[in-house]
Amino acid sequence: MKRDDFSWMIGGVQGSGVDTSATIFARAAASGGLHVFGKREYYSNIKGEHSYFQVRVSKGTIRSHVDTVDMLATFEEETIFRHALEVRSEGAIIYDPDQDPKRLDQIPTVEANVRAALNAELSKAGLSADVKGIVELARRRGAHIYPIPYNTILKDVGAKHGETSLSALQRMLNVVAVAASFALLGYDEEVVKASVRNHFRSKPKVAEMNADAVGAAYDHVGQKYAGSFSYRLSPMKSTDVKLFVRGNTMVAMAKELAGCRLQTYYPITPASDESEYLEAHSEIQLDGAAQGDPQASEVAAMKKGSIAVVQSEDEIAAVTMAIGGGLAGVRSSTSTSGPGFSLMAEGLGYAGMNEVPVVVTLYSRGGPSTGLPTRHEQGDLRFALHAGHGEFPRFVLASGDLEEAFYDTVRAFNYSEKYQTPLIHIVDKALANSDSTMSALDPTKVKIDRGAFLNEITTAVNGEFKRFQHTPTGVSPRAPLGTKGGVNWYTGDEHDELGHISEDPVNRDYMMEKRMGKLDLADREIPISERVNFFGPEDADITVVSWGSTKGAILDAMEWLKQDGITVNFIQVRLVNPFPTEYVARLLSKAKRIVGIEMNYSAQLIGVVRERTCIPIEQLVVKYNGRPMSSEEIYGALKMIYEGNAPKKLVLKHGA
Amino acid sequence: MKRDDFSWMIGGVQGSGVDTSATIFARAAASGGLHVFGKREYYSNIKGEHSYFQVRVSKGTIRSHVDTVDMLATFEEETIFRHALEVRSEGAIIYDPDQDPKRLDQIPTVEANVRAALNAELSKAGLSADVKGIVELARRRGAHIYPIPYNTILKDVGAKHGETSLSALQRMLNVVAVAASFALLGYDEEVVKASVRNHFRSKPKVAEMNADAVGAAYDHVGQKYAGSFSYRLSPMKSTDVKLFVRGNTMVAMAKELAGCRLQTYYPITPASDESEYLEAHSEIQLDGAAQGDPQASEVAAMKKGSIAVVQSEDEIAAVTMAIGGGLAGVRSSTSTSGPGFSLMAEGLGYAGMNEVPVVVTLYSRGGPSTGLPTRHEQGDLRFALHAGHGEFPRFVLASGDLEEAFYDTVRAFNYSEKYQTPLIHIVDKALANSDSTMSALDPTKVKIDRGAFLNEITTAVNGEFKRFQHTPTGVSPRAPLGTKGGVNWYTGDEHDELGHISEDPVNRDYMMEKRMGKLDLADREIPISERVNFFGPEDADITVVSWGSTKGAILDAMEWLKQDGITVNFIQVRLVNPFPTEYVARLLSKAKRIVGIEMNYSAQLIGVVRERTCIPIEQLVVKYNGRPMSSEEIYGALKMIYEGNAPKKLVLKHGA
Amino acid sequence: MALKLSDLKTSAHNDWCPGCGDFGILNAVQMALAEMNVDPSNTVVVSGVGCSSKVPHFIKTYGVHTLHGRAIPFATGIKLANPNMEVIVEGGDGDGMGIGAGHFVNSGRRNLDMLYIIHDNEVYGLTKGQAAPTLGLGKKTKSLPSPNINQSINPIMLAMASGYTWVARGYSYDVRHLKDLIIKGIRHKGYAFLDVLQPCPTYNDIQSKEYWAGEGNLDAAGKQLPRTYKMEEAGYDGVVHSDDPAEVERKVQQAMLKSFEFGDRTPLGVFYQNEFVSTYGDRLAGHSPSYKTNPPAAQEIALPDGAPLANISRLLDDLKV
Amino acid sequence: MALKLSDLKTSAHNDWCPGCGDFGILNAVQMALAEMNVDPSNTVVVSGVGCSSKVPHFIKTYGVHTLHGRAIPFATGIKLANPNMEVIVEGGDGDGMGIGAGHFVNSGRRNLDMLYIIHDNEVYGLTKGQAAPTLGLGKKTKSLPSPNINQSINPIMLAMASGYTWVARGYSYDVRHLKDLIIKGIRHKGYAFLDVLQPCPTYNDIQSKEYWAGEGNLDAAGKQLPRTYKMEEAGYDGVVHSDDPAEVERKVQQAMLKSFEFGDRTPLGVFYQNEFVSTYGDRLAGHSPSYKTNPPAAQEIALPDGAPLANISRLLDDLKV
Ligand SMILES: Cc1ncc(C[n+]2csc(CCOP(=O)(O)OP(=O)(O)O)c2C)c(N)n1
Ligand SMILES: Cc1ncc(C[n+]2csc(CCOP(=O)(O)OP(=O)(O)O)c2C)c(N)n1
Ligand code: SF4
Ligand code: SF4
Ligand SMILES: [Mg+2]
Ligand SMILES: [Mg+2]
């Protein structure tokens, strides 16, 4: 396996700007035309716990993180202790030599078992349990150590700008770490400065001071370490790198495009970022036809609209408000994660019973219960498929990467509205909180399909409209509340065509078949291309079945395996319900060796595949330690399986 | 198929005493040593809608209802219209000839489509759409018609007792209908009178008057119709008929026996009856050892205890209160049905995460959403298996009849406490609301197993107790809140052995494996006999797979099929999670023709069987019109399948 | 064309018990809507689950019979989506202040322009008469095997504490007065709460029609004194007349104190009314002006060929590398 | 053996932000428990989810950190099961009066003998500073992109409307006074509610430590006037001294009126205290006397060989045919 990308990591105390530095690093790389993939890890904490950011940079497409750290940038002690030994041989560690005396036992945020393990390693090596010791151990293991005198650099820069406040200077630590990293990599100084200036553009003085800090760091590295690090990073002229995005934002933008005009939410990690983005962008430009067509429709030209974004009192209210919006004919959605979704089960059933379109974006995080609120897991699939008592139709759609999350969001509203059925869109936390460069998005590729949506009622009898009228497809024309020409009713009870309560057994059979039959209809109508991705050769040594955010790591691993002569193909299920049974069964029946890969304990999708196809899938690769799967891990796992050395349930364990 | 039982039906307006008459009828039959099975159907309404009760009586064991009506007792018009045509040829209809002029179009509670169908039949037959017409139609179809002049009889009885109030007399209508029925059947008059006296024992005057009404009805029938009806019912000397019970009550009693001392509930049909029974019996005699042993332990002798029964503000509170009780070391439970259970998903996950024993009794009714609150369905199985985000262990146990519900309730608490895991006990509404005679229950057969329950903490270090200590089995000794000798913590977050929050990936893996591994442990430890019932010959023409309340109807149908030379065996899954995969797979692999029978749309258990065993089960018999399956329906369905005439998904439709 | 009462009746069969107080409330709502000549297809009645919550099926406007305890958030979603619709919420006391209490309190913070009517019968009717949150401690209705072991909630006080800007009480057998209150509640610009005393003859033999009529409450001459009276007739003025905070505070306090009267002299009428509080719609529009001019339900989202109307290029610009 | 403060400290790492008001509340609770010399293994601190709800991990009694908004029902279950345990509930304002408002209101109807402490920081701390139900309309904390569009709830008023029998307010930086209030709240026989003003320096720059200390609130002489004062010192007496209903009503009303004071002169201390209301435990025992003498957690349920102790033969007798 030969990686030709570069993996950079920065860490620090939560709230001290780790995010900012990573963003500056990533944007500076991206603005040089490089592909970037960033992954953040943090505790469920506001300030004080350790957090770190890993940024992978490459000239070619990348879609995942790796375990290897090529360069670790630090400016405080905890990051050194936690990550120094992850740096590969010949990799680099940037650190502040002033930290040398800091002792491991002075850091209360390090877990007892992590501390014990480090202490053991250090004492085995005869080293002291302080920064000096750990840095020395890393050096012995082959890392290049780059001490950077942060304070001297900062004081000099401060002096130039008349800034003496220690805390103001400290706020530039990140930028110095980033700049020192780039300097070691020989990356274009001006690109970095431009990136820094852009980041601080709202505060010009700060921007200039930070740009100077970049210069100072470059100067220092140039003087002391010129050419000492072998990996070089340089901007590329033209690539398809156009955007730098994060999962939540992709979904939010797509909701506006899809015509979502009511978003409800109750704060929860990692979902609320999406709603807060929408709140901040709730005025919507409605001249969208101009996107594709310069002769935009006059109706729309220059008109503005609004998305109502509402913080509710709980998730029961969030989902039922959204259903209310759906009843009123407005594309409505709510975003949440596990605990909130658990409170939505009853509401979902109501939407199913009353054939109300509503989209629930489920940002899946580490469960069960409060679980690991800021960590990763694909643990909610089975619950999404069965949430709510009784039987009602629902769509479950799971996206695998940021671009998919964008287009799937629009499809989510289309499916939901066309089939008048609630839809759960699973975006796992590894997507929601990862950043990535990508090529441009094309809003003109998107079509809105509202299905049998009436603007006026013409079929009312005596003013009463049959909302649930018998039709051959099971889909009845739908008039929003407020439509002129008639009225109708809704009830959570079984009901007749008008929406009135009915306990009649004949009507009951009809209504059950009407509702559930819509899933069969959707199964027939929605093209396979929107439901399953199939990658790799038809005929391969290994067939991988997976879903959601593991997609990127699997695709990256597939390329490495190909270099090793192992061919892999990959069935990525996106629309889990209605399940594309026939297509998947056909692919699986041709497979030589099937491997289920999931970021959960019980391989939930594989259970669904077994249930639907009755094809046994015995080989599993799972991970449930709260950390996402890396491409390296998947590469290793598939290789082991190929070589016949893997247990039936291979549990991946990497992560800090 | 030859039935040698008798099927009697009575109907009337909700709130007018239909229940009372059926109970008197059933108890009179049971006190004559006959086996009785009763089934009630009613609307989600307090007063005014139609309800009816079907009571099946036999000399041998019966476990289900049938569709056929042998005798219909009525005293008002709606019952005649709704049920007269259900009476079999040579069956009997008792009615009040004063009703003759009542017209169908005067009854607003009859659904439009039911009315239309009746009108069509009547007009086809050239009959008027009134009671007279429908009775005539029934007569033409072979029913014996027995007009009973209720008012004359009642007035005579009233006169004797100085009772002239019309409403007081009307209250005896039921008893007259019951007595007329028994008189036609030639049943012992004194047994009926004794039963009536017993029923009204708290009001001696009313009791006497009603007993006289029985006599008057017997006299009338004796004079007018002596010997005219061919079926005879007579008391038997000694049988094993000992108790006459209803599902809710069985569960409630078993909870007290099992040591449940906290029951929380939010009112909901059909669950609240159980809690109300417990509320009314909250003082508990603790000399239980005396049950088996006359030399009862002195500790317990004559001591009394109490079960706290609490009406909560909602089901979220109900389940979390019960979990609180579980944490405090008290066997705790809550009872609900679908809508309430939907609100419990988050709480269940907390119990799973924190290894808290708690029992949720789920009375499954017609869904989805508010659905058919007083009707039948087995629609919640999949939800029970997957309720709650993330992955945590849970037991799902489903009882098939009243006796099973009793013993299973005790086991529920044992499993839950021994494996420190929440348990969902599904008792479908067809059980909860059916009445049946049964042989005596034996509380001494019951054992309580609290598992690793500590009364004192001896292993605390510095006062801190490792509640989640690493152990080989995954089960850690559990000390309730309040135990002396140390303290510990609980959190919905992933936690360490003390119960403190931990995001460490190594600890996480351990804890996930500890929790989920308990299901594997239970799978190894719990004997198959407690998990699956297998009925019939090893080698049979048809193998039925089912669960829950369909048990009785399947067993009854099996006997009839045997008479026809068709052999059937039956796998009744009781413990659906952990699923007895190996055992079921072994039985299925020997099966000639597998039929899944379920009272839901999507054959939920069959999905589970497919998922676990990968054995395809293509032939289904399902019912989802809100009415339970009768033994006749199942008989017919299996026969059709045997003869090769059935569609893959055979939908049963009987019911009113 | 004036709306007639009969225009508001539906074909659905009403299955409330004979003599149920719900009938009076239903009539009053229909009378109010007729008198206001509302457009039925621009009006929606939203309810929870319970006997009372079947009410939308009997009114020929749009009707949404939702989930137990969730009438308010459903209605909130409808109103947010279509602020120009007339939204009336109805439900039981268990529905609104038992399982729904969280929404009751928090929706008070929003001041959406709708009316919420609670059918206050002190029991859970549809589940056979368990104690509702309004039943007093120690009270034993005929449906209860033993006296109620919970204290009761005072709906008026709770509404005041929650921030409703119009708070009133009516009685289901005083249909005309109730109708007038409903009209006022609908006309109020903001969130209106109307508690209606509703006898449940089947389960509640305490707060019965006879009780409110004054049974056992005799004056010196032995004449029955009704247990309700009209506050306004007794000189009470609950209306906030200026937006001076001192006046607002005074009126809030007055309403809270008034809410203590209950039982032998139970006030009917408007406890509190404040038209000076911005509605939630106003506040949303403060943030996004188009919410007023082009609210969600009025917005087109696509051209006939399905091309989306929202132009997100400015959002994409922010993400350009 | 007297309990020392250090005996109540745990090994768990505390990760609140520097300067967080939660520290003061934690200290006050520990001081109160030490002063009362409670038995840690007979005491439990139950919380919801939020920054504040991490508190049980830092107190060496039993600790149950539950679900967001559900601290009260969990605690209720514990107390019902083991009425002899000391149960203290803590949590955030979002936890208690946002998602948990339904339990807040309905648990007030029970009067279980426990203390509920709300950390009132007007924001949702752990989810990064969204508005909590106590943040006023139009207020813009540094964490909010635009001013709050919801009205606020007054916790004291809500607690009074819900029927709590002891209602007080403390301030997290007045640890000694707070400690005394906690002791009183624990000693109160019935359901006690303690609202604690808790600065969140990270997200709420309005209700800050400086604000409460009187920043910008100057007297004529330019001296800072603290924004809190102690009611009792100002002659306020919230205690109900006799069970005369008139006295009770007067004290309830007095507390409700007092709760209007907020901002520049915010009262601390006990608004209301009534020891004359039966507790829920008493009421259960009224129905089933053994609840007192042999409560659930004290009951043996089986003999050592597993034979059940409950004798259900009388129940079975009722079912004999
Ligand atoms: C989540 C849920 N829990 C319980 C129920 C059962 N349920 C139906 S109506 C009702 C109470 C109705 O009481 P109230 O709201 O006072 O209305 P009323 O019948 O008195 O008009 C309950 C508990 C339900 N439908 N949903
Ligand atoms: C059901 C559910 N919804 C949302 C969340 C996310 N969440 C965690 S803490 C919190 C708010 C905390 O605010 P507050 O209760 O005021 O406590 P504080 O952090 O301010 O102390 C929320 C919404 C959750 N854990 N569970
Ligand atoms: S039970 Fe009570 S509230 Fe319900 S319909 Fe009957 S009288 Fe009305
Ligand atoms: S965010 Fe606020 S409440 Fe939370 S720990 Fe920090 S300062 Fe305290
Ligand atoms: Mg009610
Ligand atoms: Mg808070």
Report the CATH number that the domain containing residue D239 is assigned in CATH.
Answer: 3.40.50.970
Structure tokens at A224: 């002391």
Q: Is residue C299 in a domain?
A: no
Ligand 1 pocket test: pick from C52, C67, C68 the residue with the most ligand atoms within 8 Å of its Cβ: C68
**How does pLDDT run across D93-133, given as a tens digit for each residue?**
999 999 999 999 999 999 999 999 999 999 999 999 999 99
The single residue listed with the structure tokens 């078949």 is: A513
Total structural domains in chain C?
A: 1
Calculate how far, in angstroms, residue C95's C-alpha sits from the geometric centre of ligand 5.
7
Domain membership of residue C73 (yes or no) is: yes
Within 10 angstroms of residue A416's Cβ, the number of other Cβ atoms is 29
Find out whether B304 and B283 touch, Cβ atoms under 8 Å: yes
**Ligand 1 pocket mutation, candidates C97, C116, C126, C130, criterion most atoms within 8 A of CB:** C126
C-alpha closest to that of B25 among B228, B181, B212:
B181
- Does residue C1 have a pLDDT over 70? no
Residue C112 belongs to domain spanning: 5-283
What band does B290 get if pLDDT is binned at 50, 70 and 90? low
Domain assignment present for B186: yes
D305 domain-assigned: no
Q: How far is CA A382 from the centre of its chain?
A: 19
C-alpha C144 to ligand 1 mean position (Å):
16
Q: Which of A445, A465, A484 is the last residue of a domain?
A: A445
Q: Does residue B234 fall inside a structural domain?
A: no
**Residue A238: inside a domain, yes or no?**
no
Model pLDDT, residue B239 = 77
Chain B with chain D: Cβ pairs closer than 8 A: 290
Q: Residues B170, B40: one domain?
A: yes
A544-563 average pLDDT score: 97
Residues B294 and B364 in one domain: yes
Share of chain A above pLDDT 70, in %: 98
Q: Does the structure show a pLDDT above 60 at A418? A: yes
Tokens at C246, concatenated: 């001192």
B584 and B557 within one domain? yes
Residues with CB under 6 A from ligand 3: B 46; C 16-17, 20, 22, 51, 121, 125, 200-203
Distance from residue A155's CA to the centre of ligand 3 (Å): 79
- If asked whether residues A94 and A117 sit together in one domain, one would say yes
The ipTM, to two decimals, is 0.98
Regarding the beta carbon of C148 and ligand 1, being less than 6 Å apart is answered no
Segments forming the whole domain that contains residue A210? 6-225
Are residues B399 and B339 located together in one domain of the fold?
Answer: yes
Residue C244 lies in a domain: yes
Domain boundary among the residues A225, A258, A293 is at: A225
Residues A290 and A335 in one domain: yes
- Centre of ligand 6 to C-alpha A266, Å, is 14
Whether residue B481 has pLDDT greater than 80: yes
The helix/strand/coil state of A153 is helix
pLDDT at A4: 83
What does DSSP say about strands A434-438 and A243-246: parallel, antiparallel, or unpaired? antiparallel
Q: Are residues A419 and A369 in the same domain?
A: yes
Is A262 contained in some domain? Answer: yes
Predicted local confidence at residue B303, as pLDDT: 86
D68 token code pair: 């967001």
Report the number of distinct structural domains present in chain A: 4
Task: Name the DSSP class of A440.
Answer: P
> Would B656 be classed as within a structural domain?
no
Query: What pLDDT sits at residue D77?
Result: 98
pLDDT tens readout for residues B485-507: 999 999 999 999 999 999 999 99
Handedness of CA C286, C292, C296, C300 (dihedral sign): negative
Residue in A272, A276, A314 nearest the CB of D99: A314
Tell me if chain B has a CB within 8 Å of the CB of D220. no
Residue with tokens 């002792």, as numbered in its chain: A103
Q: Are residues B176 and B207 in the same domain?
A: yes
User: Residues 6 or more apart from B459 whose CB is under 8 A from it?
Assistant: B465, B466, B469, B477, B486
- The residue length of chain C stands at 321
Token pair for residue A516?
A: 């559930």
pLDDT digits (tens, 9 = 90+) for A565-612: 999 999 999 999 999 999 999 999 999 999 999 999 999 999 999 999
Task: Mark yes or no for CB contact A313/D125 under 8 Å.
Answer: no
* A542 and A513 in a common domain: no
The answer to whether the beta carbons of residues A14 and A45 sit under 8 Å apart is yes
The CATH number of the domain holding residue B607 is 3.40.50.920
| pLDDT tens readout for residues B328-368 | 999 999 999 999 999 999 999 999 999 999 999 999 999 99
Kindly state the DSSP code that residue A48 receives in the 8-state scheme.
S
Q: What is the pLDDT of residue B241?
A: 84
Confidence of residue B98 (pLDDT cuts 50, 70, 90): very high
Per-residue confidence (pLDDT) for residue A1, from 0 to 100: 73
Is the residue at D238 inside a domain? yes
Q: Is the pLDDT of residue A301 over 60?
A: no
Q: Indicate which of B13, B43, B45, B46 best probes the interface with C, i.e. most C CBs within 10 Å of its own CB.
A: B46
Instruction: Among D51, D127, D143, pick the best mutation site for testing chain A contact (most A Cβ within 10 A).
Output: D127
Tell whether D210 lies on the interface with C, counting CB pairs under 8 A. no
Q: Over pLDDT 70: what percentage of chain B?
A: 98
C321 against A186, higher pLDDT: A186
Report in angstroms the alpha-carbon separations of C54 from B594, C15, C129: 44, 9, 17
D1 vs B: CB within 8 A: no
Shared domain check, A367 and A266: yes
pLDDT (tens digit per residue) in B173-227: 999 999 999 999 999 999 999 999 999 999 999 999 999 999 999 999 999 999 8
Answer yes or no: is the C-beta of D90 below 6 A from any ligand 4 atom: no
Question: Do A255 and A164 belong together in one domain?
Answer: no
Q: Are residues A535 and A522 in the same domain?
A: no
Q: Which atom of ligand 3 is nearest to the CA of C22?
A: 8
Cα distances (angstroms) measured from residue A222 to each of B111, B312, C283: 89, 71, 56
For residues A303 and A309, the answer to whether their CB atoms sit within 8 Å is no
Q: Which of A208-222, B110-124, B300-314 has the lowest mean pLDDT?
A: B300-314
DSSP class per residue in A335-366 = EEEHHHHHTTHHHHHHHHHHT--EEEEEEE-B
Q: Is D252 in the pocket of ligand 4 (CB under 6 A)?
A: no
Cβ of B316 and D70 within 8 Å? yes
What does each C-alpha distance from B96 to B79, B88, B147, B153, B434 come to in angstroms?
11, 20, 5, 11, 28
Residue C40 Cα to ligand 5 middle (Å): 27
The percent of residues in chain D predicted with pLDDT above 90, rounded, is 98
Does a structural domain hold residue D293?
A: no
Map residue D223 onto helix, strand or coil: coil
Higher-confidence residue of B298 and B13: namely B13
User: Could you tell me which residues are beta bridge partners of residue A453?
Assistant: A478
Helix, strand, coil percentages in chain D from 3-state DSSP, rounded to 5 = 35, 20, 45
